[in-house]
Structure 1
C-alpha cells in the first residue's frame, strides 16, 4: 500500500488531513519559507489530538539555505530533545525531519550524524536539502550509513514527475535500506503517473486551499490523492 504524507502548517490542518485519510503528517511552521520548526505547543497538541496518522516534525530553525551554523545546530539539537520529551498518549509513530548541506554541494555529514544520534529511537527523514547535493547516489549511501530512516526527494528536479527517472534510480539503489519518499508537485490528477514512473511507495505533498484569507488543507484533495493511490 502507498503511504501518503501530507505537509501541514498547524493542528487544525493536521486534523483535516488525518480525517481525509492521510497516513502520515509532516508538521511545519512557515511553509512560505519551505517549512521551519513548529512550536512545541503545536507538536504537543497534535500528539494529543491525532488518533491514527503518523507525525513527522520539521526541525529547521530558519528559512533560506540549508547550511547549518554551530548555533543553529544547537537549536536543532534542543528542538529534537524537546520533541522526544513530549507525551505521546496515543502512541503515534513520531519522527523528525532534518537536513544540512555544505557550501560545496555535499551533505554536512558531521551535523547530520549528531542530529540523527540526538533523535535516538525516533525515525529521521532527510528533507529536500538532499536535492541540492551534486551527487545524489553518493549522498544516498552516506544517508544510509548515518542511520536515517528516509529521504525526501523530487530527484533534484522541479517536480517528482520531472525527476521520476532519478527517483526510480534512487529507490533501486536504496533497496530495503532506506525509504525514498517522492515529493514535488504531486496532486490527485498526476499521482498515478508519479507512482507508475517512479515506483514510489511513499508520497509527500501539500494540499493547499485558501479559506478565510489564509492557507488551509483541502481535505477533498487529500481524499482524492488517497483514493487514487488505492485504485487498482
Structure 2
C-alpha cells in the first residue's frame, strides 16, 4: 500500500466531478445547496455524476441545515433517501447528527446505517460541534461501516484545530480512533506540511477547489495544485 494521501473534493454536479477527477482527486463528496453547508443530492444528480467519473463517491445524507436529524419524521425522510440512493448504486455515504445537547444522535445514525447495508461512511464535521469528542468517538466506535471522520479539529476551522488533529492522530488504533481522520474545514495549502508530518493522510477541500467561488465550477488546475502539494 502506498502512502499517497487521499484528496477528497466536494462536487455539486458532473462538471465539478470531471474537473476534480482530472485534477487528481481520489474521491468526491456529493452534496447540493452549499448555502446550507451541503445537503443530499438528487437521484438524478447522483446518477449523472456516477456516469461521468469512475472514482469513489461519498453521498451526503442531510436534509436540513445544522446537525439535527429532525426528529422521527426527519429520520424517516433520511432513511427514504438513503434507500433510494443505495438502490441507485450509491455505496459510500457521509452523515452525522447531534442531539440538542451535543451528544451523538444514535437513534438517527443507527436507523440510517441499518439501511446502508454495510456501506462505508464518514461521520462529518458534526464531531467539531460535539460536547465531548472523545465520548462521541467511543460511542460510535463499533458501528458498522464507519471508516472516516471529517474534522477540522475545531468548530471554527483547522487553524484552531491543529493541536486536536495532531493529538487524535497520535491515538490512531485506540478504541474510537480506528477511523481515518479526513481533515477539512478552513484547510489551506500552508497547513499541509505540518499535518503530513504529524501523520495525517487524508484531506477534504471545497472552496479551495473553486478559486472563483461557489457559483463557479471546480477548477481542475486548483485540484492539481493540491494533488501536487500532497505528493511532494
- Normalised by the size of structure 2, how large is the TM-score? 0.89
Q: Which moved more, 1:27-36 or 1:157-166?
A: 157-166
1:171 has 2:174 as partner: no
Matches within 5 A, 1:1-232: 1-51=4-54, 53-87=55-89, 94-147=91-144, 148-175=146-173, 177-196=178-197, 198-206=198-206, 207-210=209-212, 214-231=215-232
SS of residue in 1 equivalent to 2:118: coil
RMSD: 1.9
Instruction: Please name the residue that 1:91 is paired with.
Output: none
Q: CA deviation at 1:191?
A: 2.5
Q: Deviations over 1:56-113 (max 9, x none)?
A: 001101113434321111111111111111147xxxxx30111110011110112111
Q: CA deviation at 1:153?
A: 0.6
Change (3 A) 1:64 1:202: same
User: Following TM superposition, where does structure 1 have runs of at least 4 consecutive aligned residues deviating by more than 4 angstroms?
Assistant: none
| Distance in 1 (alpha carbons) for counterparts of 2:94 and 2:115 | 12
- Normalised by the size of structure 1, how large is the TM-score? 0.89
| Distance in 2 (alpha carbons) for counterparts of 1:44 and 1:142 | 34
List runs of 5+ in structure 1 lacking aligned partners. Answer: 89-93
SS of residue in 2 equivalent to 1:216: coil
SS of residue in 2 equivalent to 1:168: helix
Change (3 A) 1:167 1:199: same
Q: Which moved more, 1:153-162 or 1:199-208?
A: 153-162
Contact 2:17/2:52, CA 8 A, preserved across alignment: no
List runs of 5+ in structure 2 lacking aligned partners. Answer: none
SS of residue in 1 equivalent to 2:158: coil
Contact 2:7/2:26, CA 8 A, preserved across alignment: yes
Q: CA deviation at 1:121?
A: 2.2
Q: Deviations over 1:137-173 (max 9, x none)?
A: 1111122222322111111242223212211222333
| Distance in 2 (alpha carbons) for counterparts of 1:169 and 1:190 | 16
Change (3 A) 1:217 1:157: same
| Distance in 1 (alpha carbons) for counterparts of 2:89 and 2:159 | 39
